[in-house]
């Protein structure tokens, strides 16, 4: 009888140990890795001329073999204006994505800055340079863009799409000198991955070898627009998620620094998981952030990239006026 009780006790302890190990493993897998050491280092321009100096420094880092339309685009009125806006393109695209919208802001009196993300805009569409993109680089890029814009306008607005949306969210969390951040369809998660498992997927792909895949497996290298990369890197997507989780983690510890935030979602988006964006919206609102949201209805049938006029079936006749209205009548 004593022997049976002893065996039962050992089996129970073994079961508890295995259960504990499984819980610990699940917690480790579901907790985003390597997100706590990203930080912001503001060095804002103190004048219009200093902003132009920072632009030159940024441009010197651009590679020679870039697509001409993908170089930094600076539209200025040759002086510091009341408002300056930073437009941040998405992953695998380039400044040309925002050129037409930027022109409209310029015509409305804004100074406009559209700078290429790290490793973007190269003339060789088949390059794998974008696979080296890191969350750290995106954070540095955000700081540099805001630093420049501080010398371009009395008020600084920042608008980004997808990966540019996450980059804008990072800046909104950390930069108190942003008057308005407009975050459009940010890539905090992807449609194919249920939101609760996004961190697990990110961690899993972090330890796997990288792979380049076609955005459009049918058109492959012929996929439009011509100024975009037709391939994406799994590791680059992981780094975009890392920046998103870092932003969410920071938001849980202190309110966003930007004076106002507008989050714009697309109910028809087949790329981005809007539920993942809802997570940070809830955290920001719990901190009583000055935040509003707007969602384009599904029946508009807008694509994920609702900005670039070169995209098929684009509806900029609807999207552009609405975005400008959100900003100008905030």
* pLDDT per position as a tens digit, 94-142: 999 999 999 999 999 999 999 999 999 999 999 999 999 999 999 999 9
Main-chain phi, psi angles of 231, to 5 degrees: -110, 150
pLDDT at residue number 23 = 47
State the pTM of this model. 0.91
Summarised one tens digit per residue, pLDDT across range 56-89 is: 999 988 777 999 999 999 999 999 999 999 999 9
pLDDT at residue number 178 = 98
pLDDT at residue number 15 = 60
d(CA 192, CA 186): 15
Number of helices (H) and strands (E) in the chain: give both, helices first: 9, 9
DSSP string, 100-113: HHHHHHHHTT-EEE
pLDDT at residue number 280 = 97
Low-confidence ranges of the chain (pLDDT < 50): 5, 21-27
- What is the number of alpha carbons within 13 Å of residue 299 lying toward its C-beta? 0
Q: Say yes or no: domain 31-328 is CATH 3.40.50.1820.
A: yes
Tell me if the bond preceding 188 is cis, omega within 30° of 0: no
Q: ∠ CA 190-192-195 to the nearest 5 degrees?
A: 60
């Amino acid at each position: 009888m004593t022997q049976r009780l002893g065996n039962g006790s050992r089996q129970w302890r073994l079961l508890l140990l295995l259960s504990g190990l499984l819980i610990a493993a699940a917690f480790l897998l579901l907790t985003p890795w390597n997100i706590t050491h990203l930080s912001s280092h503001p060095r804002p321009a103190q004048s219009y001329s200093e902003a132009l100096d920072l632009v030159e420094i940024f441009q010197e880092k651009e590679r020679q073999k870039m697509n001409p339309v993908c170089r930094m685009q600076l539209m200025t009125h040759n002086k510091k204006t009341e408002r300056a806006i930073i437009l941040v393109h998405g992953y695998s695209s380039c400044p040309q994505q925002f050129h037409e919208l930027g022109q409209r802001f310029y015509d409305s009196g804004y100074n406009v800055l559209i700078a290429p993300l790290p490793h973007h805009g190269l003339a060789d569409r088949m390059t794998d340079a974008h696979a080296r993109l890191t969350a750290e680089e995106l954070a540095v890029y955000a700081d540099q863009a805001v630093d420049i814009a501080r010398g371009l306008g009395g008020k600084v607005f920042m608008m980004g799409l997808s990966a540019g949306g996450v980059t804008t969210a990072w800046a909104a969390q950390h930069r108190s000198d942003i008057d308005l951040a407009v975050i459009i369809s940010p890539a905090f998660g992807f449609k194919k991955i249920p939101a609760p498992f996004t961190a697990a997927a990110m961690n899993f792909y972090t330890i796997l070898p990288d792979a380049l895949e076609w955005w459009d497996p049918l058109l492959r290298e012929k996929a439009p627009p011509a100024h975009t990369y037709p391939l994406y890197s799994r590791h680059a997507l992981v780094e975009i998620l890392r920046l998103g989780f870092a932003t969410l983690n920071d938001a849980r510890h202190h309110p966003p620094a930007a004076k106002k935030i507008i989050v714009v979602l697309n109910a028809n988006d087949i790329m981005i998981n809007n539920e993942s964006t809802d997570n940070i919206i809830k955290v920001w609102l719990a901190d009583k952030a000055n935040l509003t949201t707007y969602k384009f209805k599904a029946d508009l049938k807008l694509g994920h990239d609702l900005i670039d006029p070169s995209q098929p079936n684009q509806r900029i006749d609807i999207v552009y006026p609405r975005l400008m209205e959100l900003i100008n009548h905030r």
